[in-house]
Chains A and B, each alone.
Chain A
Amino acid sequence: MITTIAVQQVRGLMRQRVFVVLLVTMLAMTALAGVLGWSSHHTIVGVYDEAVKLLASRGLPAPPNPFLLKPTLSLLSNMVVYIPLIGSLLAVVLGHLSVVDDEANGIGRLIFSRRLTRTQYIVGKMCGAAVVLAFVLAASLLVSWLSLIIVNRSLPAGADLGRLAAFYTLSWLYLMVFALIGMVTVLATRRRSLALLSAMGAWLVITFAVPQITSGLRPTQSLNPIVDPAGTSQAFFRYTSNIRPYSLVEQYKAVSGTILRTAATEPTGDTVRHIAPLVAAVVALVVAVVVLVQRHDYSRGSSNE
C-alpha cells in the first residue's frame, strides 16, 4: 500500500509539472554553479597572468599561483550555497504540495474509505517525496560530473566521484528536512497559505537567523561560497556557540566543505558529529508528520485558502 501511495504521489507531481519544474530548476542551478566555477577558474588564471606581468615590470617576484590552492571540486562550491538557498525552498514547496493537494481536491476525504491507515498513507507520501528528491539530485550529480570534465579537461578521479556522490547524498538528507517541514506545516495549520508561509518562516530562521545568532554571519555572507569568518570572540557568542552544533545550515556547509575539500580536513568522528543533527532533524520531523496526520481533519472542505 505504501508503494502504491508513493507511486501515485510521484505520478501526481509529474502530472502537475512540479517534478519538471523541480528538475529543470535544480539542473539549471547545477549548470550555473559549473559556469560560475569555470568563470572563477578563468578569472583567477587571467588575473594571475596579468599580475605576473605587472609585478615583473615593477621588478618584483611573481607570487605563487592562487589557483593551485584551489581543490579540484572547488568548482562546485556554489552548490553549497544554492542547495540551502534554492534547493531547500523547492523542497519546502514539494513537501507542501505532496500533502496539500489531497486536501484541496478532496482525495483526502475519500482515500481513508479504503483499507489504508494514515501511517501507511503518510509514509507513502514521504517516500514519494524522497524518491523525487533523490532522482533530481542524481541528475544534478551527472551535470556536476560533466562540468568537472569540461572545466578540468580530464575525467574526475575515482575518489572525486566518491566525494561528489557523498556530497549529493548529504544534500538529499538536507533537502528532506525541508520537504518534511513543508508537510508538517500543512498538517499543523488550518489554512494553505499559513502553511506555506510558516514553512518559509522556518526556512528563514534556519538559513539566516540561526547562523547570525550562533556565528555572527550576516545574511549576505551566507550568499558567498568564500566567507571570511566573522569575529565571534564576544561573550554573547560564548553562550550562543553552544547551539551552533544544532544549526543545520552550518553543519551542512561544514560537512560539504570537508567532502569537497574546500575546507580544512577533519577527523571522521567530527564529520559524523556534524551530520548527526541533520539525521536527528529528519527523524524528529518524520515522527511529527506521522503524529500530526493521525489528528489531521481531512473532512474540512477544500476552501482553506
Chain B
Amino acid sequence: MSDSRRRVLALARHEFRAAARSRILLVLLGILVTVTIVSVYVAAVDHRSLVADYAAYRAAAQNQGLDRIAPSPLQPLSLLRGALEYLEIIGAVIAITLGYLTVSRERANRTLTLIRSRPVTGNELATGSLLGAVGVIATLVAVTTLVGVVCVGLVGNDWINAAQSVKLLLASGAAILYMTAFYCVGAIATSNTKVAANGLMIALGIWLLVVLILPQLGDTLDADNQIPGGLFKALTLDRAGETEILKHFSTYENTRITIEEASFAKHFERFAFAMTEVQDKYRGFSLTSLLNEKRNDIGWMIAYSIALIAALRFSFRRQPTIPQETT
C-alpha cells in the first residue's frame, strides 16, 4: 500500500470515528429511524390484510385444482416509500451536518494545523474525509433499509425476494450518492466561510431550495394537483382526454418539468421510486428496462455528485491551515 493511500485511509478512519462520537448525529439518526419505522409500519399493516387476501385466493384456487394462478399484484418494496422520503429530507440534513462537522471540528479543536503539518495534501484530506463520510452514510442507509425491510417482513408479512433485493440495493446506492452530494455541500459551504455556523446556514438554505422548494413548485404547478381529488377527475376526463388536453399546455408542462429537474432531490426520488415500484407505471419492468428508463436521472445524479466532489477537493486545497476565526 502506498504512503498516500495509507494516509487517506487513516483520515477516513478518523472521520468515521469522530462522526460516530457526535451526539447530534446520533439524535438525527434516532429521528430518522423512528419516522422510518412509523411510516413503514403504517403502510405494512394495510399490506398484511392484502397479503392474507391473496393467500386465501391462492389456497382456494389450488383446492379447486386450477393450473394458472394469478401472481401476487402486491409490491412490498413500495411500502418503503415513506422511508425513502425521509432519507431524501432528513438524510440530506444529516449529510450536511456531517460535512459541517468535518470542517468545524478540526477548526474548533485546532487540529487542522496539526494535520496539515504532516505530509498530507489538501486532496488527501478531502479524499480521506469523503471516504470516512461515505462509510458513515452507507452505515446509516444500511440501518434504515434494514429496519424498513424487517418491518415489511414482520408487520406486512411479506419478505422481499432476490430480484427485489437487487432493486433495493440500487435504490440504497442512489441514497448514498445523494447524501454524499449533500455532505459535499455542507463541507464546501463551511470551509468557505469564516464563521462555520454561517456555512451551516448557507448549506441548509441550499437544502431548503433543492429538497423542499423546487420539488414543491413542480408538484404545485402540476395541472392535476390544482383541486382535491385531481382536476381531470373533476372534469370527468380519462387518461386519453388528459393527454389530449395537456398537448395545449406543452410550454407550461415543460417549464414545470424544468423546475423539477433542477432539483437533485427530484432525480433521486424518481430513481428510488422507480426501483421500489412506488409508481404503478414501472411495475412489471425488468431491471434493464428500468435502468434504461431512468438513465436521465442516473446521469444527473452522477453529474451533480462529480461536480460537488471536485468542488470539495478544490475547497479543501485552498482552505487556510491556520484558523481564521474563533466564533
B-binding residues in A (CB < 8 A): 32, 36, 39-40, 43-44, 46-48, 50-51, 54-55, 60, 63, 66, 69-70, 78, 81, 85-86, 89, 93, 100, 104-105, 192-194, 196-198, 200-201, 204-205, 208-209, 212-213, 216, 218-220, 223-228, 231, 234-237, 302-303, 305
Give 24 A-B contacts (CB < 8 Å), ordered by A residue. A32-B217, A36-B220, A40-B226, A47-B232, A48-B235, A50-B245, A54-B244, A55-B237, A81-B216, A192-B197, A197-B200, A200-B93, A201-B24, A204-B31, A208-B86, A218-B39, A220-B215, A223-B216, A235-B45, A237-B42, A302-B326, A302-B327, A305-B108, A305-B327
Question: Known contacts A66-B227, A89-B208; can you find 13 more A-B pairs with CB under 8 A?
Answer: A43-B226, A44-B227, A46-B249, A51-B241, A55-B235, A205-B31, A209-B38, A212-B35, A213-B38, A223-B219, A225-B220, A305-B107, A305-B196
Which of the residues A69, A204, A212, A224 comes within 8 Å of B220, measured between beta carbons?
Answer: A224
Question: How far apart are B220's CB and chain A's nearest CB, in angstroms?
Answer: 5
A-B residue pairs, 7 tightest by C-beta: A305-B108, A104-B327, A223-B216, A51-B235, A219-B85, A50-B245, A66-B234
- Of chain B, the residue at the smallest CB distance from A103 is B327
Contact with A along B180-219 (1 / 0, CB 8 A): 0000000000000000110011001000100011011101
- Of chain A, the residue at the smallest CB distance from B42 is A216
What A residues does B215 contact at CB under 8 A? 220, 223
What A residues does B216 contact at CB under 8 A? 81, 85, 223-224
What B residues does A66 contact at CB under 8 A? 226-227, 231, 234-235
Is there a chain A Cβ closer than 8 Å to B90's Cβ?
A: yes
- Of chain B, the residue at the smallest CB distance from A29 is B213
Interface contact A63-B236, CB-CB below 8 Å:
yes
Which of the residues B38, B107, B217, B223 comes within 8 Å of A47, measured between beta carbons?
Answer: B223
Interface contact A226-B225, CB-CB below 8 Å:
yes
What A residues does B108 contact at CB under 8 A? 303, 305
Question: How far apart are A72's CB and chain B's nearest CB, in angstroms?
Answer: 15
Which of the residues A44, A204, A234 comes within 8 Å of B46, measured between beta carbons?
Answer: A234
Interface contact B90-A204, CB-CB below 8 Å:
yes
Is there a chain A Cβ closer than 8 Å to B145's Cβ?
A: no
Q: A63-B236, A208-B35 are in contact. Are A234 and B245 (CB under 8 A)?
A: no
Is there a chain A Cβ closer than 8 Å to B143's Cβ?
A: no
Interface contact A54-B219, CB-CB below 8 Å:
no
What A residues does B142 contact at CB under 8 A? none
What B residues does A104 contact at CB under 8 A? 327
Give the complex CA separation of A234 and B48 in angstroms.
12
Interface contact B90-A196, CB-CB below 8 Å:
no
Which of the residues A81, A85, A209 comes within 8 Å of B35, measured between beta carbons?
Answer: A209
Q: A224-B216, A224-B225, A305-B196 are in contact. Are A63 and B234 (CB under 8 A)?
A: yes
What A residues does B234 contact at CB under 8 A? 63, 66
What B residues does A223 contact at CB under 8 A? 212, 215-216, 219
Question: How far apart are B285's CB and chain A's nearest CB, in angstroms?
Answer: 22
What B residues does A231 contact at CB under 8 A? 46
Interface contact B235-A39, CB-CB below 8 Å:
no
Q: A51-B245, A303-B108 are in contact. Are A43 and B223 (CB under 8 A)?
A: yes
Is there a chain A Cβ closer than 8 Å to B252's Cβ?
A: yes
Is there a chain A Cβ closer than 8 Å to B239's Cβ?
A: no
What A residues does B89 contact at CB under 8 A? 204, 208, 219
Is there a chain A Cβ closer than 8 Å to B28's Cβ?
A: yes
What B residues does A212 contact at CB under 8 A? 35, 38-39, 42, 82
Question: How far apart are B82's CB and chain A's nearest CB, in angstroms?
Answer: 5
What B residues does A213 contact at CB under 8 A? 35, 38
Question: How far apart are B185's CB and chain A's nearest CB, in angstroms?
Answer: 15
Is there a chain A Cβ closer than 8 Å to B146's Cβ?
A: no
- Of chain A, the residue at the smallest CB distance from B109 is A305
Contact with A along B58-92 (1 / 0, CB 8 A): 00000000000000000000000110011011100
Instruction: Give residues 36-62 of B contacting A (CB, 8 Å).
Output: 38-39, 41-42, 45-46
Interface contact A69-B227, CB-CB below 8 Å:
yes
Q: A218-B39, A224-B225 are in contact. Are A47 and B200 (CB under 8 A)?
A: no
Interface contact A55-B249, CB-CB below 8 Å:
no
Interface contact A218-B97, CB-CB below 8 Å:
no
Is there a chain A Cβ closer than 8 Å to B318's Cβ?
A: no
Q: A212-B82, A303-B108 are in contact. Are A236 and B244 (CB under 8 A)?
A: no
What A residues does B82 contact at CB under 8 A? 212, 218-219
Interface contact B45-A200, CB-CB below 8 Å:
no
Question: How far apart are A230's CB and chain B's nearest CB, in angstroms?
Answer: 8
What A residues does B231 contact at CB under 8 A? 44, 47, 66
What A residues does B235 contact at CB under 8 A? 47-48, 51, 55, 63, 66
Question: How far apart are A121's CB and chain B's nearest CB, in angstroms?
Answer: 20
Interface contact B41-A204, CB-CB below 8 Å:
no
Q: A44-B226, A208-B89, A236-B42 are in contact. Are A194 and B35 (CB under 8 A)?
A: no
